[in-house]
Structure 1
């Protein structure tokens, strides 16, 4: 729920600019299908599309509707590569053979998404002009050099740039070095979710909104997915709820830490205000612990994002910090009107890798994109569909891992606001 500070402006920019679409009807009555998908975000819709295209019967249900969760609320940046971990650490976690498949899938995730958008002619303001990641400190600069060398060794094609080039590409004097990944880009995420739903429906998938799943049970060789007014009997179930996971699958919610990125978006800005900011269409993010990420829209709006924090009433905070930070990074934006304020929950895993689980035969779960959800959810959805259709585990880019709670998760979630404040303090010292 987004209330209080967030609702003093219109809805999110994505909801404001996406075309109106008819709500998907709630599930009613008893139905039989091959695969039931729980969650109508990027992961679930991509899985449904892949299944339907293969001739598999599929029904998608969501407590809200298409893109109602993070898929329709995120920053819309299509950043390839897995975050946090260096290639050597990922290899250590997943093993050498899986690492090769995972690295290939990760580095190609943005290309795969843009290829899919073109193939299905999804209108979502897609542009692949590159991703600029800028360094906030000397230590971050040194790490970026090492990371770039390590990722380039396996095909990343990134380039380290100096402060002058950062200034030319970003319009900001704040950062003294950075990295350019030419495969990055941006989409209008809610329009992407709507487009995926349309293409999946055209190929036979059924999608139902307003259909929160009340229970999930095994009956003989089938699974039964029950909502308030309907029931689906399926051979397999795909759970694609990510940061909105609950107790439907035991330990699933406890296996991730939900965090709440927030964004602000301006009115369309005059050319003399915005001309120097991201003039070549790059997206941008920085290397701080509490990161910023930003993009320039085709109509000259600015979108600026970072960490937010809901209070105990569900009200989102963090917007004032975003305004101040946007003006610090881009002084050109001082005094502009930030018309839109919104956010949504994403899922962080303990090892900072996406997780593929199969807790019982015929029950598949994919989640935990750690801030790379636009690109990696597209990969995960396809992989979940392939597994549901019988793909062998050794052919998949994700290892099938056991589902277990994060150690001390409740304490970590409770302490998250204090951790964020401490990380901001460290960032401020290093930036100075």
Structure 2
């Protein structure tokens, strides 16, 4: 008996708005696209193909899962709508952050998932940075990786007690985190506007598109099959197998894992409705005088502060600064995105000369309403996993390894999140519009913090 999960491809409101971004901020306009090594040679799914496990979505989560399954000798097929890393995995700032968003700590995770599973999740995430760089070394992924540490500077002295508490919570889990004093934070960032910082030396930065392409190469070398330019347009249960239709072919699989993040296009509306799509805008400057590296991020760390509308920045290998962040309007002006984020960095670091943008691009991430990862059951032997929540690289890579262990024969006991049914938000089609109200409110709160 046929059990459809989706009866035809229907772009979401956000996808209709953002499907054709201005060419000056497209995937191809990014610094990562200009400098990353080529991805693997793949082909489009055509005709009918039989597989055991289908992973739909070729980003960090999909390829981490596929790679770890393939390494263990399991058959796995990846379907990617465009090319590996085309979505958020290839468009972010390139931070490997083994931590949670500001406002979420191990205590909050345990309150949500219980002490045992919450501890598992925090340990998994805390080890995510080391996992990312270990995979890069083991599979010789060329992505300009630097495991120099990730910092979260305090934008206001009022958060000092919160920082001390957060440090102690992560130390209790055995993590090698450090508290930086005000003077140390000023030195490490180059900005006298900071009042201390959280430092995890296991984090770092890299070319995110190069990394996900490297995972794809590694998965293929270990036996995974990858089809690109193969958007899944219909997913249904037929008898005891799953039928996945693309424009040019059909994949029949025993099991399915959906890892499409914010780009599912209505393939599983209930699971996609648990997420809020969020627009991000990134810029890379023209190369700067290398002498500036002595006063700005002198230890080549990456930094993302404690503002709700945070300021994040890092160096590239060729002396550019990369920064970016949120835009409330998915159709936001390309010029406004450039000037807004560059202007914030210029005010934070007044020792910089006038900055000129060489590359600009936009993308979108997805966040659950509680900013926690999820593993949802779509039907017999079919699941949807989401993990980005603004901490994509370390979180998704680590969750992919755990999901692969589970799919490869492990028990639910080892999973850091429970398997649940999808619980979409009320009126999920309006989720992206809700964020347009959330961001201005949080910018106002940031301004009040600074006044206080």
**Structure 2 counterpart of 1:54:** 72
Shift of 1:428: 2.0
Tell me the alpha carbon deviations over residues 198-228 of structure 1, each in whole angstroms, 9 at most, x when there is no partner.
1111112111111111111111211111101
**Structure 1 counterpart of 2:98:** 80
Aligned partner (choices 258, 261, 282) of residue 263 of structure 1? 282
Shift of 1:2: 6.1
Shift of 1:386: 2.3
1:191 corresponds to 2:210: yes
**Structure 2 counterpart of 1:164:** 183
* C-alpha separation in 1, matches of 2:192 and 2:422: 45
SS at match of 1:331: coil
SS at match of 2:328: strand
- Compare 400-409 and 371-380 and name the one that shifted more: 400-409
Aligned partner (choices 22, 25, 41) of residue 4 of structure 1? 22
2:124–2:399: 8 Å Cα contact kept in structure 1?
no
Q: Is there any run of 5+ residues in structure 2 with no aligned partner, and where? A: 1-18
**Structure 2 counterpart of 1:364:** 383
**Structure 1 counterpart of 2:84:** 66
Q: Is there any run of 5+ residues in structure 1 with no aligned partner, and where? A: none
Aligned partner (choices 218, 231, 234) of residue 237 of structure 2? 218
* C-alpha separation in 1, matches of 2:96 and 2:285: 21
Shift of 1:333: 2.9
What does residue range 287-326 of structure 1 map to in structure 2 within 5 Å?
287-312=306-331, 318-326=337-345
* C-alpha separation in 2, matches of 1:262 and 1:404: 29
1:2–1:315: 8 Å Cα contact kept in structure 2?
no
- Compare 50-59 and 405-414 and name the one that shifted more: 405-414
SS at match of 2:269: coil
Tell me the alpha carbon deviations over residues 320-374 of structure 1, each in whole angstroms, 9 at most, x when there is no partner.
2101101011113341211111121111112211111122221021113211110
**Structure 2 counterpart of 1:34:** 52
**Structure 2 counterpart of 1:349:** 368
Shift of 1:23: 5.4
* C-alpha separation in 2, matches of 1:340 and 1:185: 22
**Structure 1 counterpart of 2:259:** 240
* C-alpha separation in 2, matches of 1:326 and 1:63: 35
Aligned partner (choices 103, 121, 128) of residue 109 of structure 1? 128
* C-alpha separation in 1, matches of 2:217 and 2:430: 41
Aligned partner (choices 416, 425, 437) of residue 418 of structure 1? 437
Tell me the alpha carbon deviations over residues 23-81 of structure 1, each in whole angstroms, 9 at most, x when there is no partner.
53211011111111111111111111122222222221111111000010011100102
* C-alpha separation in 1, matches of 2:333 and 2:385: 26
Shift of 1:183: 1.2
SS at match of 2:340: helix
Shift of 1:276: 1.2
* C-alpha separation in 2, matches of 1:31 and 1:9: 30
1:5–1:315: 8 Å Cα contact kept in structure 2?
no
Structure 1 residues 312 and 32: CA distance shift in structure 2, 3 A = same
SS at match of 1:398: coil
TM-score, normalisation: structure 1:
0.94
**Structure 2 counterpart of 1:277:** 296
SS at match of 1:332: coil
Shift of 1:319: 2.9
1:42–1:71: 8 Å Cα contact kept in structure 2?
yes
Shift of 1:408: 5.3
Q: Root-mean-square deviation (CA), in Å?
A: 2.1
TM-score, normalisation: structure 2:
0.90
**Across the two proteins, how many residue pairs are aligned to each other?**
432
* C-alpha separation in 2, matches of 1:45 and 1:288: 32
